[in-house]
Chain A
Amino acid sequence: MGTGNDMENDPKLSELLKEWRIPGAPPSLDTRVLGAPRKWWSFLLTGSIRLPVPVVVAIAAVLLVMAFALARQRTPPPPASSVNLADFQPVLDPNIHIIRGNHDAQ
C-alpha cells in the first residue's frame, strides 16, 4: 500500500487502484458546513477582528501618550505680567505750568 506496509512493494497495484479518481469536496459542502459566504459590507456591520494582547497594550499606550500631549497643547498659557493699555485715554487739554527755579531770576 502507500506507506510502510506489505503492499508497498507493489507499485503496479497502487497505480491500478489510483485509476479510481474522486474530486475534492464541492462548494455546496462549504455552504453546508460554514454557512453562506458573507458579503463584504456585512463585515463592516457585524465583523470582528482578533488582536494579540501585546498589540492592544501597545496601541493603548500610544493613544494615551498622544492624548496627554494633545491635552498639554490645549492648556491656556498663564497670564502675562504686562500692563493692559486698552482703556488708556490721552490727556486732551494739558495745562502745563512751567515753574522756574530761583536760580533763573538771578
Chain B
Amino acid sequence: MTDPEFREAYGQHKDMLYRFAWRMTGSAATAEDLVQDCFVILLRNKAILNRDRGTLRSLLIGITRNVARKHLRSERSHDELDELNIASATSRPIDTDDRERSETIARVVAALPPLQREVLILAEYEELSLEEIARAVGAELAAVKSRARENLRRVLAPLLEMKGAAHGNRE
C-alpha cells in the first residue's frame, strides 16, 4: 500500500470507523484513539491487505472492532451488562427532547453485549449487509442473523414500545 493509497483509504473510511468506534465505546475520545490504532495497524501490516478478507472496508471494520473489544475488555466486564441495564436505560421517558432521546438510545445500545451491539451498529447505522458484517467480524452468517434477531427482541422492541407509550400518553 503506497502513501497515496493509504491517504485515500483513510479519507474514505475514517468517518464510518469513527462513528462505529464511538457507538461501540460510547466515547468520542476513545473512538479517536481506536481509529488511530486501526490505521497504525494497517500501516504496520500492509501484508494483511493481500489476504482474502473481502473489501478494505470490511478489513478496517474488523481491525477497529478488534481494538474496540480489546479496549472494552480492559475497561470493564461485560458480564454485568444484562437485562437490568437495558431496563434501567429505558426506564426514563423517551419522548422528551432530541438530546435526551438520543442519549437514551445511546444507553440502550451501549447496554447490549458487544457481539450484538456491533451487529446492530453496523447494520442499522452504517447499513452494511449481514454478509459484510459476517466478513468484518469474522463470524458465520447464521450467527450474525441470530444476533440481529436477539437485538430486536432485547432492545429494539422495548424501545418501540416505549416510544409508542410516550406518544400514547401525550395524546
Taking CB atoms, residues of chain A closer than 8 Å to B15 are 24-25
Query: Could you say which of A7, A22, A26, A32 contacts B156, with CB atoms under 8 Å apart?
Result: A7
Number of interface residues of A (CB under 8 A): 28
Q: With both chains docked as a complex, state the minimum distance between the C-beta of B38 and any C-beta of chain A, in angstroms.
A: 9
Q: If the complex has contacts A17-B125, A19-B101, A19-B102, are A5 and B19 also in contact, measured as CB distance less than 8 A?
A: no
User: Could you say which residues of chain B place their CB within 8 Å of the CB of A18?
Assistant: 124-125
- Asked whether A93 is an interface residue with its Cβ less than 8 Å from the other chain, the reply is no
Given A13-B160, A20-B102, the answer on whether A4 and B125 have CB atoms closer than 8 Å is no
B14 close to A16 (CB less than 8 A): no
| Nearest residue, chain A, Cβ from B39 | A33
- Give a binary string over A9-48; 1 marks a CB under 8 Å from any B CB, 0 the rest: 0101110111111101110111011100000000000000
Q: Which residue of A lies closest to B13 (CB)?
A: A25
> How many residue pairs between the two chains, A and B, have CB atoms under 8 Å in the bound complex?
102
| Interface status of A87 (Cβ within 8 A of chain B) | no
Contacts of B124 in A (CB 8 A): 1-2, 7, 14, 17-18
B135 to nearest A CB, angstroms? 14
The interface residues of chain B lying within 8 Å CB-to-CB of A20 are 23, 102, 105-106, 109, 125
Q: How far is the CA of A24 from the CA of B35 in the complex (A)?
A: 12
* A-side contacts of B36, CB under 8 Å: 29, 32-33
Chain A residue at minimal CB-CB distance from B15? A24
| Known contacts A2-B123, A29-B14, A32-B32; is-contact A16 B102 (Cβ 8 Å) | no
Chain B positions 81 through 122: 1 when the CB is less than 8 Å from some CB of chain A, otherwise 0: 000000000000000001001100110010000000000100
Query: In the bound complex, what is the Cα–Cα distance between A77 and B109 (angstroms)?
Result: 89
Closest residue of chain B to A20 (Cβ to Cβ) is: B105
B127 CB contacts on chain A under 8 angstroms = 2-3
Is A100's CB within 8 Å of the partner chain B?
no
Provide the bound-state CA to CA distance between A6 and B145, in Å: 8
* B102 pairs with A5, CB closer than 8 A: no
Q: Chain A contacts of B18 at CB under 8 A? A: 22, 24-25, 29
Q: Which 9 A-B pairs have the closest CB atoms?
A: A1-B123, A24-B15, A2-B127, A25-B18, A20-B105, A25-B14, A22-B19, A3-B129, A33-B39
